[in-house]
Structure 1
Amino acid sequence: MIRVLLADDEPLIRAGVRATLGSAPDIEVVAEAADGHQAVEMARAHRPDVVLLDIRMPRLDGLGAAAELATAAPGTAVVMLTTFSEDDYLAGALASGAAGFLLKSGDPRELLAGVRAVADGGAALSPSVARRVITQLGQGPWGRAVAARTRVGELTGREREVLGLVGAGLSNAEIAERLFLVEGTVKAYVSAILARLGFKNRVQAAILAYEAGLVPSS
């Protein structure tokens, strides 16, 4: 069972997300919070597998909560819930070490898949959010694509293949199944990719995979 903490200051949003998560037999909402401080304290108490954080909350916003959760609950994956009006927060959320970015108003199946992916060590990145993050990071799309392809050119062919699947949100186990490798080998590839590129987490790698055009279409 995947244990989830949901943090959003809007009761209606929490109710909608809770209903979506409650429809899945393998996901349980163990606690809810209305602000970032509550989220951190509840994460300490409940030790959830995944925390869904609204980016904008009173007292302590999602970015601040994500930073505190890195030390308060280091084994917990953090997913930022965003709307189309919160582009200014996306680059900061990426730097906070979040394991995923999902739209509040997105497809419920995308939310469920994202929670499962990060709980399994993967990344959850809505394609529309990925495009907006890339835009927010500066340069034009063409300039970033050239720079990204230059960076991934340092990787081996197999590493680029693994990076593309990380960008698609697959977990290590799913990548291993796709490439007919053992999971430990995939984990080693991912660690080597992050180290070589100087990234802290899979979401940063996923963004680069999108920029470089490595994410498979299906």
Structure 2
Amino acid sequence: MTVRVLIADDQQLVRAGLRVLLDTQPDIEVIAEAADGAEAIALARSLRPDVCLLDIRMPGTDGLEATRAIAGPDVAEPIPVVVITTFDLDEYVYAALRAGARGFLLKDAGAAMLADAVHAAARGDALIAPNVTVRLIEAFAGTEPASGTAAPPLEPLTARERDVLAAVARGLGNTEIAGELHISLSTVKTHVASLMTKLDARNRVELAIWALGAAHRRD
């Protein structure tokens, strides 16, 4: 199935660059571009793309406000949003996730990570830039007592699932995990989906947090 994407960024060159990266993917189609948040909201509501790729800093209605209008908790029929920005600031990460974003990437993420984030959002999953994921986990760890525990999995994990879980906890994307473990990308996706089911996790951040809690329990 082709994933239909709306791109919103106030810089035309950035929009063009993102379009080029996404157009290299056989199952992703950019159906529209917006120059600000207000235009992104209008196009999202009229075209109903599968995923919206939004910059944070835009004139007028910014990406955070647009995310709340497109994917926020009060939206009757939300559309998945991936926020992409030049600015690696924690307040942007937290604000974007609170607004309803299903992913958070930096603009230098590259074609593979960008495609992974779009596919994850279209599936109802979430993908966050690896360095950002690590910071979220560290922030979580800082709020947990040393004796923090993780609930047992609903079903036992296989050895390969434990390998994939450890890689997710380090902030690696699916493509990087496939290369490191010498397995196919589709196999990685299958393991990640299985881990989410067994650990009752909604996204990769929750998988990483579970791994952290399990490590505390072993200690």
Question: Does the TM-score normalized on the shorter chain lie above 0.5?
Answer: yes
Q: Which residue pairs with 1:82 in the alignment?
A: 85
**Conserved 8 A contact 2:52-2:80:** yes
Which sections of structure 2, spanning at least 5 residues, go unmatched? 175-185
CA distance in structure 1 between the aligned counterparts of 2:87 and 2:119, rounded to whole angstroms: 23
RMSD of the TM alignment (CA)? 3.6
CA distance in structure 2 between the aligned counterparts of 1:108 and 1:80, rounded to whole angstroms: 15
**Conserved 8 A contact 1:82-1:103:** yes
1:54 aligns with 2:55: yes
| Deviations 1:46-82, CA, capped at 9 Å, x for gaps | 1100100111212122221111112557352111102
CA distance in structure 1 between the aligned counterparts of 2:101 and 2:40, rounded to whole angstroms: 15
CA distance in structure 1 between the aligned counterparts of 2:94 and 2:86, rounded to whole angstroms: 14
Summarize the Cα distance change of 1:188–1:94 in structure 2 as closer, same or farther, 3 Å threshold. closer
Which sections of structure 1, spanning at least 5 residues, go unmatched? 195-200
Q: Which residue pairs with 1:178 in the alignment?
A: 191
1:103 aligns with 2:106: yes
* Greater Rg by CA: 2
| Deviations 1:132-163, CA, capped at 9 Å, x for gaps | 4446x5x7x6x35x559825x12426488699
Q: Which residue pairs with 1:150 in the alignment?
A: 148
In the TM superposition, what are the counterparts of 1:1-218 in structure 2 within 5 Å?
1-70=2-71, 74-134=77-137, 137=139, 143-144=142-143, 146-147=144-145, 150-151=148-149, 153-156=150-153, 158=155, 164=165, 177-178=190-191, 189=197, 193=200, 202=203, 205-206=206-207, 208-209=209-210, 211-212=212-213
For normalisation by structure 2, the TM-score amounts to 0.70
Q: Percent identity?
A: 38
| Deviations 1:165-188, CA, capped at 9 Å, x for gaps | 986667xx9678438xxx8xx599
